Structure 1
């Protein structure tokens, strides 16, 4: 029997474990609504936290960029150069996050898997939060540095690891906002440890840029560590596909460190540059974000509405079933339900009600913590969030009745 024959039974095993994933065919319908596999749905699955993905200003910027630059970029920026739009974007990104220099990559995942191996290698050590995003994990593995994973958000555990390390180069790697739990890292605490142990911090702010800090400048700005307070010991990374609403990623920080990344990151050197039309859209998005306080207020209002509506103390059904929202003040609101099958059944029951909320299962989250990952947006209305809250309360009550009847 060839090993190629193993794929079918292995896929069957995933299905039995409720771990088989399915892609959906979608198209936007305006606001937070989209057509999913041909059916109109109210979506709570998108990371488009400010609703900018379909913003007319961004669409116009893409159209103007296509007319000026065409569609493709042709080659690596190290071979054929990068466009004036991409060059301007890097300057504007650095100014927006209030750090000395920025480098723009074609994708967020590519940013992390390129930056980490550029910074450390054999003989060096990486200290990674256990709940870091997969791109940070993969970048760490590609570097061939020794990786230690400290308990989530446990800075005492991290301090012990750093104190025991004999490596010359130490890299602390952490999400700023954790993508499946929605909590925020202790950024000043990470910096203090970096200073005490001659380490560098790589901070992934994919879910903070645009929605946190003054004018949406991100989690690092929210911590007061940009501008005059910026530290060369923090290298800041973010994607441009979430609150920014477009695509790509970037890294920003000390100009010398960013120059080293430019010279050594393989996912930058050996990849075709991002099209200039996307850079133009991102530039338009940065302007919208800087003046978008009303959008951030709308988002925060919807977060508060959801949390109040799904508080187990205010609704006995939720409390009885043991479902609970993880503590989060961000757009990521995880409703932990436990078993994979329960998460999938809830997702399907919501789908039948015209609500699209993704079920998240291992290995994305630890075993036994399957959840609905509710992603909120400024595009959601008060009535739309109320419809989700009402549906989840109804489903919790149904589960309670089913348990009582079984007993």
Structure 2
């Protein structure tokens, strides 16, 4: 019976030789590291108003939601957040999930099934890929952010139900999908467009309403939006926003909604407070944009190929997985946290540091972080 454990140990040794071992690093409450690895783009996770709203809900409702949304898990806090999210994203309705991962699984599986042609951008996040794999649909992987290639794929399947799945701002390299052009293609071929807006909400669009809104696509009947509540909004959870008929379908049939415990009311209330701050946070968005331009200039001057980020994510190429690990560890030893992305997290098989900009840290700390990243480069 121990053979299965030996097989796992063998796989672990293989990963170690390839530089693909992963390690949990626990963060203390008083951690002083300058954070360019987390996704708290606007610095709202520790905002006093966000924390106060969460504490009030914690005192009112207790620690957890105590059940699924359809049993005892739905509260006024959930309903209020969903109403404001729908208005912010320009959708008829919104439905909150306990994670962005489950929201993506639920959205893909609701829109596609046996007989559907499901087209997925090559660089999509793992949650979208897993949703595609579990949908039962025929899946075609499309070249990255390529409207012409998408048109050719969709044009080869007339008369079929079709869905195209993409991110707005891609989670590894931070590049922006040409959403308006992609929608022109999907519209011409009677295809639904599903956009994961996780890395764009709070940053792009009027009042931070996201990449879909910035592209002029908010509220269209053939566009569905998903997002996490854990990045610009500083909390946890996910959302699907779209036509009322879709939300009704998800409530009635969506397994990742029906059978999952609801997100805690304290988290939901904190996210709601963060959303209200975000809508008026043009100053924080301006800081983020300035830091994106500064980072691209600084790293380009140091010899790296780093374009100005579309939102808050940018990647710096590393020679390989072990070099990326060593680079990130050296930065961490000097008080700077950076992301280290290696296969299979990278869609093209290469390794890099991923930097996530943060408007909530001081300019002095941010400048020091860039110096350390350059000085520690392999």
Structure 2 length as normaliser, TM-score?
A: 0.95
Shift of residue 113, structure 1, vs aligned partner: 1.0
Shift of residue 28, structure 1, vs aligned partner: 4.4
User: Which position in structure 1 is the counterpart of 2:62?
Assistant: 70
The separation in 1 between residues aligned to 2:213 and 2:130, in whole angstroms, is 27
User: Which position in structure 2 is the counterpart of 1:16?
Assistant: 17
User: Which position in structure 2 is the counterpart of 1:283?
Assistant: 272
Residue from 276, 281, 286 that aligns with 1:297? 286
Shift of residue 367, structure 1, vs aligned partner: 5.4
CA deviation vs aligned residue, 1:360-380 (integer Å, no higher than 9, x gap): 111111455210101111013
User: Which position in structure 1 is the counterpart of 2:340?
Assistant: 359
1:380-391 correspondence runs (5 A): 380-391=361-372
Conserved? CA contact 1:306–1:385, under 8 Å = no
* Shift in alpha-carbon separation, 1:63–1:200, aligned structure 2, 3 A: same
Residue from 351, 367, 370 that aligns with 2:351? 370
Q: Does the alignment pair 1:338 with 2:339?
A: no
SS at match of 2:318: strand
RMSD (Å), alpha carbons: 1.6
The separation in 1 between residues aligned to 2:236 and 2:333, in whole angstroms, is 31
Shift of residue 129, structure 1, vs aligned partner: 0.2
The separation in 2 between residues aligned to 1:189 and 1:367, in whole angstroms, is 24
User: Which position in structure 2 is the counterpart of 1:119?
Assistant: 111
Conserved? CA contact 1:326–1:335, under 8 Å = no
Shift of residue 261, structure 1, vs aligned partner: 2.2
The separation in 1 between residues aligned to 2:130 and 2:187, in whole angstroms, is 26
Shift of residue 121, structure 1, vs aligned partner: 0.8
User: Which position in structure 2 is the counterpart of 1:84?
Assistant: 76
CA deviation vs aligned residue, 1:100-120 (integer Å, no higher than 9, x gap): 111111111011111211221
The separation in 2 between residues aligned to 1:305 and 1:252, in whole angstroms, is 34
User: Which position in structure 1 is the counterpart of 2:299?
Assistant: 310
CA deviation vs aligned residue, 1:290-317 (integer Å, no higher than 9, x gap): 1111111111111111111111xx34xx
The separation in 1 between residues aligned to 2:96 and 2:160, in whole angstroms, is 28
* Shift in alpha-carbon separation, 1:80–1:392, aligned structure 2, 3 A: closer
The separation in 2 between residues aligned to 1:331 and 1:84, in whole angstroms, is 32
Shift of residue 223, structure 1, vs aligned partner: 1.2
Conserved? CA contact 1:361–1:367, under 8 Å = no
Conserved? CA contact 2:34–2:369, under 8 Å = no
* Shift in alpha-carbon separation, 1:356–1:80, aligned structure 2, 3 A: closer
SS at match of 1:95: helix
The separation in 1 between residues aligned to 2:108 and 2:88, in whole angstroms, is 23
User: Which position in structure 1 is the counterpart of 2:8?
Assistant: 7
CA deviation vs aligned residue, 1:320-357 (integer Å, no higher than 9, x gap): xxx32255232111001231122112112212222121
The separation in 1 between residues aligned to 2:307 and 2:122, in whole angstroms, is 17
The size of the alignment, in residue pairs, is: 377
The separation in 2 between residues aligned to 1:25 and 1:374, in whole angstroms, is 19
Conserved? CA contact 1:119–1:261, under 8 Å = no
User: Which position in structure 2 is the counterpart of 1:260?
Assistant: 249
SS at match of 1:68: helix
User: Which position in structure 1 is the counterpart of 2:193?
Assistant: 201
The separation in 2 between residues aligned to 1:219 and 1:107, in whole angstroms, is 20
* Shift in alpha-carbon separation, 1:368–1:195, aligned structure 2, 3 A: closer
